[in-house]
Amino acid sequence: AQSVTQLDSQVPVFEEAPVELRCNYSSSVSVYLFWYVQYPNQGLQLLLKYLSGSTLVESINGFEAEFNKSQTSFHLRKPSVHISDTAEYFCATTGGGNKLTFGTGTQLKVEL
Amino acid sequence: NAGVTQTPKFRVLKTGQSMTLLCAQDMNHEYMYWYRQDPGMGLRLIHYSVGEGTTAKGEVPDGYNVSRLKKQNFLLGLESAAPSQTSVYFCASSLLIRLGGYTFGSGTRLTVV
């Protein structure tokens, strides 16, 4: 069965610093990979996705993630974070069915 | 606005009471899902549906039942609530995953006392 591991439960970072949120997956079949963001007291919003094609995917607000098949990773990066990026981030995958399996989440806290 | 609507947004139940959470989507999605979110555990799939009239168990189905009588609605029922069911419940809908991800509702915060 497919699974997702988010190694860091919390990541504190200063504003304008770079950040990387780690995600590793396990699957024996073709994968689709997603990052979702959850702002306080809200639902989850799709941030970016890898379905096929280019292994580097980008979001409209400056985040990017790279699908690395050999390392089974899909880490999320941003070169310069803003206070408004404070949120919880979830990595998710599906290993062939139409259901997503989520990681346990990483709380990104951006400090001044 | 198009999307997924969950009702109610908040609810407090006493142990043993029953309730139904409603999820409605207006995007003509075939697939619908119910997840629960608990601190440190991410989102866990309770039940899901691949189309009108069909339902299936997810990772944590015990204590819950679901129905999908209409394509746009997916109901989650708790027949006899327990404190362990205190959680935030999210509904989502989708097309085939290879066409994109889920659209989530805003959640229902349920407390069982």
> Considering just the CA atoms, what is the radius of gyration of chain B in Å?
13
Helix locations, A1-112, DSSP H: none
The pLDDT score that the predictor gives to residue B33 is 97
From A49's Cα to the closest Cα of chain B, the distance in A is: 8
Say whether A9 and B40 touch across the interface (CB within 8 A): yes
Closest Cβ opposite residue A99 in set B45, B99, B104: B45
**Residues shown for chain B:** 113
Positive or negative, the CA dihedral A49, A53, A59, A60 is: negative
Closest of A69, A81, A65 to residue A12, by C-alpha: A81
CB B46 within 8 A of CB B64: yes
Tell me which H or E stretch contains B19: strand B19-25
What pLDDT does residue A41 have? 86
Q: What are the distances in angstroms from CA B37 to CA A111, B87, B107?
A: 26, 6, 9
Q: Which of B33, B41, B105 sits opposite A99 (nearest CB)?
A: B33
Encode pLDDT of B5-46 as tens digits.
999 999 999 999 999 999 999 999 999 999 999 998 999 999
pLDDT at B1: 61
- pLDDT given for residue A95 in this prediction: 62
Q: Which residue has the tokens 């951006």?
A: A110
